[in-house]
Amino acid sequence: MTKAPSPGRPPKADQRLSKQLILQTALPIVQDKGVDALSFRMLADQLGVTPMAVTYHAGTKKQLLSDLVEHAFAGVLDGVEGGTPVERARSIMATYYGYALKNANLLRAILEDVTLMSADLANVVPKLKACTDQLKNSDGGDVLVHLLIDYAHGFVLSASSGANNPLTIEDYLRGIDWILCRAAGDREAI
């Protein structure tokens, strides 16, 4: 006859709790159910530990969200390609959109509290600006960059608003192409 596990903290040999394990457990919850659904008690139940153990490794809920953003958006610019400024800007926006759509609930949290933004996310704007500054109809400032980023955010929020939403990445990229072609001064740039 085996002994039923007792509630509370598991024996040390049963599991090695770490921040990485907590992030791997928390991310699908946030992606599926949203930030408000995430709690230390829920994580503790899923990990078979006490809420205090989760708090010890994760810190505050804000710190956990900040770490989730860093984890979820790590390498957001790694797949960026393209030879021309328009091609690079399009690649940045397509890659960013993919990450943002998958992590739309974290994006909502970032838009509510910009202090949650990770270094990888913060790097998107200067990389995009380096591309848009080279375009014929660039404003020389941040208007085009903000337009592209805000368009991405609006599209992500719309595309993630329900299970039966018909919006696709092709719809999104058609808009990005339209904006970039006009900024390049060429209606056929892409």
pLDDT above 50 (res 54): yes
Q: Does residue 104 contact residue 158 with C-beta atoms inside 8 Å?
A: no
Q: Report residue 179: phi and psi, to 5°.
A: -65, -50
CA–CA distance from 52 to each of 8, 15, 40, 55, 145 (Å)?
Answer: 10, 15, 8, 5, 43
- Domain residues of the chain, as ranges? 19-72, 85-184
pLDDT computed for residue 124 by the predictor? 96
pLDDT above 60 (res 12): no
| Mean pLDDT of the residues in the chain | 90
Q: Which two tokens stand for residue 140?
A: 């020389």
Q: Does residue 65 contact residue 35 with C-beta atoms inside 8 Å?
A: yes
CA distance 190 to 182: 11
Q: Does residue 99 contact residue 134 with C-beta atoms inside 8 Å?
A: no
pLDDT above 60 (res 6): no
pLDDT computed for residue 14 by the predictor? 47
Sign of CA dihedral 33, 37, 41, 43: positive
19-72: CATH topology: Arc Repressor Mutant, subunit A (1.10.10)
- List pLDDT tens digits, range 129-180: 999 999 988 777 789 999 999 999 999 999 998 778 888 999 999 999 999 9
Section 115-127 average pLDDT: 96
